[in-house]
Chain A
Amino acid sequence: MIRQLANWFRRKKLESGLDRELRYHLERRIIDLERSGLPTGEARRQALLELGGVAQIQEEVRDIWLSRWLRDFTYDLRFSARSFLKAPSFTITAVLSLVLGIGATTAIYSLVDQVLLHALPIRQPESLVLIDWRGDQAADGFGSWNLMSYPICRDLDKQTQFFEGVFCRALTTVNLSTGGDYRPAVVEIVSSNYFPVLGVGPALGRVLANDDDGEPDANPVAVLSYDFWQTQLGGAPDVVGRKVLVNRYPLTIVGVAASAFKGIDVGQVPSIWLPASISAQAIPGFDRLLDRRTRWMQVLGRLNQGVTLKEAQAGLQPWFKALLQEDTRRAGFPVITAERRQRFLDSSIVLTAAPQGHSGLRRRLVEPLWVLFAVTTVLLGLACLNVSGLFLARGSARDREIGTRLALGASRGRLGRQLLADSLLIALAGGLLGTAAAPIVVRTLIAFLPRETAPTALNAGIDSRLLLFAFAASVAAGVLSGLAPAWQVGRRSLVSSLRERGGTAFGGVRLRKVIVTAQIALTLTLVVGAGLFLRTLDALMAQGPGFVTSSLVSFGVDSLRNGYSPSEGNRLIRRIDEAIRHSPISRASAVARFPLLTGGSWNDPMTILADKRISTDRDVNLNSVTPGFFQTMGIKIIAGRDFDERDIRATGEQGWRSAIVNEAFVKRYLRGRNPLGVRICEGSGPDAKPNIEVVGVMSNFSYRGIREESEQAYFPFFEDSGTFYVRIRGTPKSSFESLRAIVRSVDPTLPISDLRTLDEQVDRSLNTEHMLATLSGGFSTLALLLSLVGLYGVMSYVVTQRTREIGIRLALGAKRWSAIWLVLRDALTMVVSGIGIGLPLVWALGRLVKSQLYDVKPSDPVVIAITILVLCSAGLGAALIPAHRASGINPTDALRFE
């Protein structure tokens, strides 16, 4: 089969070869016959006769080269192409339907592939595993997911019977300079075996080597990412040996990593890689690299050849249990309750395959992207149904042709194949155009993704995987759209088609009605889905973050990264705060240690001492703020007071004197009790000392994101870094330059980060919801349009079919409106049965999107009612045009026409 396909491409050469071969045969034969005494003309005749017809041999040999089937199919394709060119409006409608379907599916698939499926460009990505701790680590930590300590990574690296190597990594933001200004940059802190275990080499110089993270601070080196080298250093060839400054700390560049490698997190491309030994410089004030009870790094390993994930996981447990016991005896193991100690000792090691690395972006997008992929697949299905319907319509117009061909002896299989060739050709044309349009769609899609994602992380280009997908989708679409028409041909009766006049075969109509019904059902699911996502976004927007966002601007300052000591840093923050408050552009200003609405928070369980001592059953979100924060944000103090000078601690005093908790905190833990005067503290162990007095209660507002309602406790601000919140006079955007100038006037070299309005911050925190609502809304509109076109087509056809019948009815005295009703009733039957089929589908699919919804159930009656209303009225609207035409039928014309 393959060889025959290949032959198709060199058929010219084969033809001329056969020609020469046969000519040689004839000439030799003629000469031989002449030698035996025949005259020249007679010899030629005799030779040709013996051979039995050159043309016939050629045909037979061609059949062998290409196989009969393939040859006929190429004729079919040629015939299809010709007939399509003759019916441009049909062709354009069909191709356009598929361009929409295939283009949308391919574009979404591009993101699915890049974010969810694509393996890292490393050696044997399939043997990479993520190592995680299931259970209580009895540890503090910071960072996102799957965190463990640095020492345990080193311990795991020694389990050589399972692992070729185990490395760890953590992302952080530093102030980075290559000689000029400091800029915030994402860097990856890694153990020194990171590159060897991944199997990633240098593009220049060397990558990190095994002793680069020996002693803390011993080896101040850095490896640049290829992108950073190209964009920030112009790809300078002499870059090895130069210095970069990380938070003012000089590091020697030893090399540039391979160009294809962009770290192991698809959403976050690090600028540089640093060995763990200088984590104290990368994260100012961090001195717990060797602490076993500080979890902050993801640990990944490469399994040995021949060791399966299950074997490794089972084999590690005895060693791990011993390690847990040993840990409890180590100095510095925290004092914890017996129950928690048991949870710690019950912990286990869990391995998961991680050929795509570790990514927060993937975690956030995995469900939304699959939902959108499902939506576009349904859209593609709808487009196929549409093309099916169009083909059936065309099939009825071609009745005579097909009938004649059947009568002349063409087999039904042969005709079915002709129709399949038709639909494949249309689908490939649609696929080609759809793929060409995909990059534009992908670029739009990327704009919906979290904007923290590095611009280099995802690309809108077309690669071979995407082409393969688009091709497969096109062929599938072609076969699907050709199925119904081919089946129709298989069923038709030859006699009736010849007896009937052109365009009156009735069999196709029922099938077309079934198709339209299916379209309505699919459209219902998409429109309901879009309605649910819209309501979710609407509910979140309506709820808001719980504070007034208009004319509010925020930006971050990290003084330690700029070489300040903690106490100097705190003075710097206060000076900037002071300067902003005295500036004419601000109405109010305050500082919070951690920014709001970024998805992250400082959190910990707490101990509460009211009548009796209790521990919170889950983490409380914590923050520290300067006096005036709540007023600046427009957050109400419901009881008690804001922070003021009473809360300032004396020199040398540790901890906080006072705290303000939110309503949710009171509701969950202090129900019915006066919260003021209750004492609380961070942590839940037996050594926790609840000595912080609750002095106020604030109204609820969003910390991590708008979806989440959480218990919160705020402390007075004494830190060295934080996020400024400024209520602006005038338009927020115009204040940006003034704010920069104010910070420069205090410290000209201090970089600020994330300067933006709070309205924008709200938008960003909702970008997944925006994406789902906008895209599913767009896709379902297209779906509705496609099914309306289908409905309209069938109804127009039905009216043409029944012209005579309607004419007679009218002649016999039927009213015009009854003619209209005749058509509308037909359309309504399809719409209603489509809805009837679609509703159970909605019910079944609802559970899959539940986690993406907010404040609305998958079976929300309002959404479903509106959808049904929209479908019915749109369906009736589409049917109204043919219905109107039916009512305008002139009885005498209709009868004469016959």
Chain B
Amino acid sequence: MFLSPRFPIPQGTLDMLILQIVSLEPLHGYGVAQRLDQISRSVVQVNQGSLYPALHRLELKGWLRAEWKQSETGREAKFYSLTASGRKQLAAEKHTWARLAGAVQLIFNEGTK
């Protein structure tokens, strides 16, 4: 499973990642896990155990909506999708992230000049 050296996911970014993944299409927990795994393989390491608490936390905050639907295997699964306020939150976090990353980059550039 360990194809390349990976660094642990920064604190607080898991929520943002989940929102991003679910924003593309409604997914059940396992689906989110698979997508996270794909990301993990290449870049960061995500502890699967923290996935479900995060999903439930986002649902309680009203950013995710959950409903039981038939999955691709024919069994009932709990699908998560983004709510309107979740979409707003994701946009806000993306914006903050971009500013933060930009700012950090700026500082690095200063240092190497």
Residues of A within 8 A of B (CB): 3-4, 7, 17-18, 20-22, 24-25, 27-29, 50-53, 56-57, 60-61, 63-65
Contact = CB atoms under 8 A, between A and B. Distances in A.
A560 B33 CA distance: 95
B29 A21 contact: yes
A882 B66 CA distance: 66
B50 to A, nearest CB: 8
Contacts of A22: 29, 52
Contacts of B57: 64
Given A3-B60, A64-B56, A65-B60, A52 B75 contact: no
B78 A21 contact: yes
B52 A20 contact: no
Contacts of B29: 21-22, 24-25
B11 to A, nearest CB: 16
Contacts of B49: 51-53, 56-57
Interface in B40-93: 47-50, 52-53, 56-57, 60, 71, 73, 75-78
17 contacts: A4-B60, A17-B78, A20-B78, A21-B29, A21-B52, A24-B29, A24-B30, A25-B29, A28-B73, A51-B49, A52-B47, A57-B49, A57-B52, A60-B52, A61-B52, A61-B56, A65-B60
A192 B31 CA distance: 74
Contact of A51 (B28, B48, B56, B73): B48
A347 B75 CA distance: 85
Contacts of B75: 24, 27
A64 B52 CA distance: 11
B48 A50 contact: yes
Contact of A25 (B30, B56, B73, B76): B30
B37 to A, nearest CB: 9
Nearest to B32: A25
Name the prevailing secondary structure of the B interface residues: helix
Contacts of B33: 25, 29
A61 B77 CA distance: 18
A29 B34 CA distance: 9
A52 B48 contact: yes
B55 to A, nearest CB: 9
A56 to B, nearest CB: 7
B78 A60 contact: no
The 3 closest A-B pairs by CB, nearest first: A52-B49, A60-B53, A28-B30
Q: Which of B47, B48, B50, B76 has the most CB of A within 10 A?
A: B48
A20 B50 CA distance: 17
Contacts of A3: 60
A17 B33 CA distance: 18
Nearest to A14: B56
A323 to B, nearest CB: 61
Nearest to A50: B48
Contact of B77 (A24, A29, A50): A24
A18 B28 contact: no
Contacts of B73: 28
Contacts of A50: 48
A516 B101 CA distance: 64
Nearest to A58: B52
Nearest to B71: A24
Contacts of A61: 52-53, 56
A636 to B, nearest CB: 85
A24 B68 CA distance: 12
Contacts of B48: 50-52
Contacts of A24: 28-30, 71, 75-78
B8 to A, nearest CB: 14
Contacts of A18: 52, 56
A29 B30 contact: yes
Given A21-B52, A24-B30, A52-B49, 11 more contacts: A3-B60, A20-B76, A21-B28, A21-B78, A22-B29, A24-B77, A25-B33, A57-B49, A61-B52, A64-B53, A65-B56
